[in-house]
Amino acid sequence: MGSVTDDQQVALLPDGSARQSALRSRRYGMIRSGTLGLAVLTLTGCASMTVPKPKDPEALAEYEEANDRYEPLNRKMYNLSVWVDKYSMRPVAKAYVWAVPRPVRSSLGNMIRTMNEPVVFFNDVGAGKPRRAGDSFARWCINMIAGIGGFIDVAKYAGYPHHDNDGGLTLATWGIPSGPYLFLPMMGPSSIRDGIGYGLDQGLSPWNYVPRGYGLITFNWAYNIMGTINTRADHLDDLDQVQRDALDPYATIRSAYQQQRKAMADSIKNDHRATVPDWYN
């Protein structure tokens, strides 16, 4: 089921980040992009799946705030994802938490985050934030060398804490609207803009250009699978609580996702730090 990722999103069967989040392999990216494209085509061709715009001013304000014109279909996809997660990812994640000690899970999370730093760097550049890009680049270099391939977050202790960025957030800083909210099966909360941003991230990920024959393709698949399990395990309690306590878990996840994405985009826009670090001056 969904997750409130450290990176980017509230998502069912995390993406990504979580959205927020690690990148997927080229073939996985093609599957996800194809799923998004199919979902968009389905939405555009199913007028019965849309919510009519209300005329009452109060109801109209709620409609616009939710930004969920495809709510009937989105709720079906949400229910499907919850059902599949109940019998697949959640049991696997619980077994993973039981079998793998917390320090090991934390190290795997650090590695996954480090492997995603090149995408964060390129998006920082695209957002016109050179200081953030410099921090991302420094994190990548420090953790890959001193952090033993990213298993130890040495960069954090060196004054370079992790920050999030992705293609959807970069497009947001360019003033591109999110488009309607989407809940994609087995992928979780998204939007038209974030779906396009995900495709851009696939193009920016160096792991998607690894030539065959070096053993790294196998690593890439293992990294993606482990990233999915590790992210789901990190948020077992969060998601169980939402399902248990929220009057409408679907609406709670939708609101949390939208608020988080807006806050993250605003944080990037408002980051006006000088290009050079403070210690340089």
| Residue 43 scores a pLDDT above 60 | no
Percentage of the chain with pLDDT > 90? Answer: 61
Across the chain, the runs of DSSP E, i.e. the strands, are: 2-4, 10-12, 181-184, 188-191
Average pLDDT of 210-229? 75
Q: Give every CB contact of residue 92 below 8 A, 6+ residues apart in sequence.
A: 229, 232
Query: DSSP state, 17?
Result: B
The conformational region for residue 60 under phi > 0 = left, psi -120 to 50 = alpha, else beta, is alpha
Quote the tokens at residue 21: 């989040």
Q: How many domains does the chain have?
A: 1
Strand-strand pairing, 10-12 and 188-191? unpaired
Q: Is residue 242 part of a domain?
A: yes
Find, among 199, 203, 263, 271, the residue nearest to 10 by Cα.
Answer: 263
Is residue 228 within a helix (H) or strand (E), and if so which, with residue range? helix 216-234
193 contacts 172 by C-beta, under 8 angstroms? yes
pLDDT range class, residue 2, cuts 50, 70, 90: very low
Find, among 184, 143, 193, 135, the residue nearest to 164 by Cα.
Answer: 135
What would the pLDDT profile of 86-108 be if each residue is shown by its tens digit? 999 999 999 999 999 999 999 99
Q: What is the pLDDT of residue 103?
A: 94
Q: Is residue 203 part of a domain?
A: yes
Q: What is the pLDDT of residue 212?
A: 64
What would the pLDDT profile of 129-157 be if each residue is shown by its tens digit? 999 999 999 999 999 999 999 999 999 99
What would the pLDDT profile of 55-83 be if each residue is shown by its tens digit? 888 888 998 999 999 999 999 999 999 99
Q: Is residue 41 part of a domain?
A: yes
Chain centroid to CA 129? 20
Quote the tokens at residue 6: 């450290």
Q: Is residue 279 part of a domain?
A: no
> CB count, 10 Å around CB of 182?
24
Q: Is residue 136 part of a domain?
A: yes
pLDDT range class, residue 227, cuts 50, 70, 90: confident
128 contacts 86 by C-beta, under 8 angstroms? no
Give the three-state DSSP class for 8: strand
Single-letter amino acid code for the residue at 27: R
Q: What is the CA radius of gyration of the chain?
A: 19
- Phi–psi pair at 166, nearest 5 degrees: -160, 175
Q: What is the pLDDT of residue 40?
A: 53
Q: Is residue 52 part of a domain?
A: no
Q: Is residue 62 part of a domain?
A: no
Tokens 């001193």 belong to which residue?
146
pLDDT range class, residue 13, cuts 50, 70, 90: very low
What would the pLDDT profile of 244-266 be if each residue is shown by its tens digit? 999 999 999 999 999 999 999 99
Q: Is residue 19 part of a domain?
A: yes
What average pLDDT is seen over the chain? 83
* Residue range of the domain that includes 127: 2-47+69-81+107-271
